[in-house]
């Protein structure tokens, strides 16, 4: 069994997520306690008892999703489950780096606390929208975005989720134009998303510049990692020659290449893809590319115990 751990990003959150895990496992409660102490926020209270509006604030969402994922990770590690590869989507890259041994738990939570605040509060003002384009080659999407941008509007690909889905971000007017144009060019679907922030675009350059200073204070372990970690930036593995400060700062303003990450996992013989945290987004992306993959979602006591039982049996 060659396992990849996959950690979700924003959009997967729900009020109450992980409460059953928190109630059952001391290890999970300890992760929430430590993350709350480091961040200065009561993450359990925000996750279990706040409103969806409060939880969905970027500065809360990133911490809440990562803490749930890291709580599950702690139980998996205690039971001897080790991945060959780890990967995350956007904020999920931080639990992936912690799991892979590149980043300490304390530094990871500290960085996400800052990153969430900056991405939520240091955005160039504008009326932004996002849309998922399904069933169209990404090169066609890039060309349409370029044509619209040449008219003086802001628009850019933000997430390449798998070969058949790309998310674009931009001015409301630009996104509306793009949706019409891409439907004409053969897109199966073009859907406006509830998320409106221009994440992973140049509109977060100020956040990127401020965040760089925080990254410079962190010690990364590039020499002795526990697992291979895939970069969102280009879908390749981190290595000991990488400039982690440069990569993780550019991560905020660069497109997420999860499509390339899936290809890298396939090329490295991964047969079991384990999504750790809320939702089923990443296993959904993998399923589109690999119908034969063994896909596992761990987001509850039931799903965690089922996986551990199968793992012990070698299934």
For 237, the 3-state DSSP assignment is strand
Query: The dihedral of CA 229, 106, 296, 131: what is its sign?
Result: negative
251 catalytically annotated: no
Instruction: From the candidates 36, 169, 200, 249, give the one annotated as an active-site residue.
Output: 200
Sheet holding 228-229, edge to edge: 228-229, 85-88, 3-7, 272-276, 294-298
Backbone conformation region of residue 186, classed left if phi is above 0, alpha if psi is from -120 to 50, else beta = left
Indicate which residue of 36, 90, 249, 254 is catalytic: 90
DSSP character at residue 203: G
Contacts for 315 with CB less than 8 Å, ≥ 6 apart: none
Question: Is there a catalytic annotation at residue 90?
Answer: yes
Q: Can you give the length of the chain in residues?
A: 315
Q: Looking at residue 230, what DSSP letter applies?
A: B
Please report the sign of the dihedral spanned by the C-alpha atoms of residue 103, residue 158, residue 4, residue 2: negative
Report the C-alpha dihedral over residues 170, 174, 179, 184, rounded to 10 degrees. Answer: -140
Which residues are part of the catalytic machinery?
A: 90, 200
């Amino acid at each position: 069994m060659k396992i990849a751990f996959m950690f979700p990003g924003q959009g997967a959150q729900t009020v109450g997520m992980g409460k059953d895990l928190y109630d059952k496992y001391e290890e999970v409660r300890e992760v929430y306690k430590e993350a709350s102490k480091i961040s200065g926020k009561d993450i359990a209270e925000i996750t279990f008892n706040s409103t969806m509006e409060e939880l969905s604030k970027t500065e809360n969402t990133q911490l809440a999703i990562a803490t749930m994922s890291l709580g599950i990770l702690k139980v998996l590690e205690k039971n001897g489950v080790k991945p060959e590869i780890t990967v995350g989507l956007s904020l999920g890259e931080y639990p992936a780096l912690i799991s892979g041994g590149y980043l300490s738990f304390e530094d990871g939570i500290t960085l996400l606390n800052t990153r969430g605040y900056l991405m939520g509060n240091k955005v160039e003002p504008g009326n932004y929208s996002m849309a998922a384009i399904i069933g169209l080659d990404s090169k066609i999407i890039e060309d349409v975005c370029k044509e619209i941008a040449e008219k003086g509007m802001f628009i850019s690909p933000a997430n390449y989720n798998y070969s058949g889905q790309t998310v674009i971000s931009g001015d409301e007017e630009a996104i509306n134009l793009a949706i019409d144009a891409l439907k004409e060019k053969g897109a199966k679907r073009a859907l406006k998303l509830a998320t409106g922030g221009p994440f992973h675009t140049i509109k977060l350059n100020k956040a990127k510049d401020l965040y760089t200073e925080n990254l410079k204070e962190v010690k990364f372990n590039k020499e002795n990692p526990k697992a291979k970690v895939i970069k969102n930036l280009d879908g390749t593995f981190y290595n000991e020659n990488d400039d982690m400060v440069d990569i993780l700062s550019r991560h905020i303003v660069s497109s997420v290449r999860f499509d390339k990450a899936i290809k890298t996992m396939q090329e490295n013989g991964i047969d079991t893809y384990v999504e750790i945290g809320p939702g089923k987004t990443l296993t959904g992306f993998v399923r589109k590319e690999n119908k034969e993959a063994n896909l596992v979602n761990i987001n509850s006591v039931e799903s965690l115990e089922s996986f551990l039982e199968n793992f012990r049996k070698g299934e």
